[in-house]
Amino acid sequence: MKTVTILGATGSVGRSTLDLVEREPDAFQVLALTAHRDVTKLAEAAIRTKAKRAVVADEACLDALRSALAGTGIETAGGEQAVRDTADLGADLTMGAIVGCAGLEPVLAAIEQGRTVIIANKEPLVSAGEVVLAAAARSGATLLPADSEHNAIFQCFDVARPGRVRRIILTASGGPFRDWSLDQMRGVSVEQAVAHPNWSMGAKISVDSATMMNKGLELIEAARLFPVPHDAIEIILHRQSVIHSMVEYVDGSTLAQLGPPDMRVPIASCLAWPDRMATPMAPLDLVRIGRLDFEAPDAVRFPALRLAREALDAGGARPAILNAANEIAVAAFLDRRIGFLEIAAIVEDTLIRYDPPAPGALADVLAVDAEARVIAHERVKDCVA
């Protein structure tokens, strides 16, 4: 029996994790669940799973959570510190499924416990990769990647012989606008941008997939997690989302991981690792799928790919600025304050305007993140004006 804490339990990844955990009550016991503000979903999940603790990051929602859980015996808490303290409880497995850099400190708190931390929440690895990896090295924590591409690479990568890897090939569906011209993309609505053709995900990552910033963030995430040179990580378009990524070896062998486009497959791989557990999805029907297509991505229509590659190569504060500006721009787009193409433009502009020295400790990363957000906010205001 393993104890599990889910940070971001009410989101898309959090709910997929709950679905798997709840199917195996003899294997997993829920210790704690956290959310931002969704008291209803959080309370329902806490009651269903008999969680020990439920936490809302927004303290203003704590009274509602207390009422929803009155008489259940489930502990309640509110506020960002409470989320961090909950990550600190020492669960055997912690799922990091908060969206954005808001997940950084909770994930670090979990890593410091030295147990197993499953990382779906990619933004902390992008912004503070060195800090996160150093914390894991110090505590001895095991990091397991749940992002489908990185989980695929993890399953194919020979960790004992990284020098034998020639290339990592990150596959990308291309998102809903993969065949659209720049002109067509200029006028896309929020509804169009969040309607991913293959995956059902939270709003922020859906927009990231539409701009292809998601693939840019994943490029940086892959560089953090796997010891290969940056130029050995390639992105290719694979519109069916059947192959989730590949590892090519020096002898010409390429290993690929295939599966249905459902996050429960990579999450299950992490929850059961190094074992396997059953998932409810139908097996892949390759005959019905019929063909697997591959194309080169278009960095002109999707400038986020270029921006992310440049940020990775430059290192230092650049990935943190890229990520922070993107979080602000995506939020502004979701709020209908800026147009779709302005997302990448704001990220690029923030990177041009702000070039601080490389951050060292966590506090430096947080300061860079905060300042980049201020600058990106200014650009949002300029776009609205």
Residues belonging to the binding site are: 10-13, 37, 121-123, 147-149, 173, 196, 202, 209, 214-215, 218
Residues 256-275 vs ligand NDP: string with x where CB under 6 A? -------x------------
* Minimal distance, residue 353 CB to ligand NDP, in Å: 25
Q: Does position 8 bind ligand NDP by CB under 6 A?
A: yes
> Minimum distance between the CB of residue 80 and ligand NDP, rounded to whole angstroms?
7
Query: What residues between 9 and 48 interact with ligand NDP by CB under 6 A?
Result: 9-14, 35-38
- Choose between 140 and 257: whose C-beta lies nearer to ligand NDP: 257
**Binding characters for ligand NDP, 321-360, by CB under 6 A (x = yes):** ----------------------------------------
Residue 68, amino acid: A
Task: Please identify, among the stretches 64-72, 119-127, 158-166, 274-282, the one whose residues bind ligand NDP according to the rule CB under 6 A.
Answer: 119-127
User: Binder to ligand NDP among 53, 84, 115, 122 (CB under 6 A)?
Assistant: 122
**Separation CA 131–CA 144 (nearest Å):** 16
Q: How far is CA 383 from CA 238, 342, 344, 380, in A?
A: 34, 8, 13, 5
Determine which residue in the list 18, 87, 95, 99 makes contact with ligand NDP, applying CB under 6 A. 99
Q: Which is nearer to ligand NDP, 140 or 280 (CB)?
A: 280
Residues placed in the known binding site for NADPH:
10-13, 37, 121, 123, 202
Site for ligand NDP in 147-206 (CB under 6 A): 147, 199, 201-205
Which residue's CB is nearer to ligand NDP, number 126 or number 341?
126
123 binds ligand NDP, rule: CB under 6 A: yes
86 binds ligand NDP (CB under 6 A): no
Q: How far is the CB of 65 from ligand NDP (least distance, A)?
A: 10
The 10 Å CB-count burial string (b at 16+, else e) for 258-295 is ebbbbbbbbbbbbbbbeeeeebeeeeeeeeeeeeeeee
- Residues at the annotated binding site for 1-deoxy-D-xylulose 5-phosphate? 122, 148-149, 173, 196, 209, 214-215, 218
Which residues make up each annotated binding site for Mn(2+)? Answer: 147, 149, 218
CB nearer to ligand NDP: pick between 57 and 375: 57
CA distances from 78 to 52, 73, 115 (A): 15, 16, 24
Taking a C-beta distance cutoff of 8 angstroms, is the pair 41, 64 a contact?
no
Site for ligand NDP in 215-244 (CB under 6 A): none
Are 267 and 19 within 8 A, CB to CB? Answer: no
57 binds ligand NDP (CB under 6 A): yes
Residue 32 identity: A
State yes or no: residue 77 binds ligand NDP (CB under 6 A): no
Binding residue (CB under 6 A) for ligand NDP from 21, 74, 83, 170: 83
Q: Which positions touch ligand NDP (CB under 6 A)?
A: 8-14, 35-38, 57, 83, 97-99, 102, 120-123, 147, 199, 201-205, 263
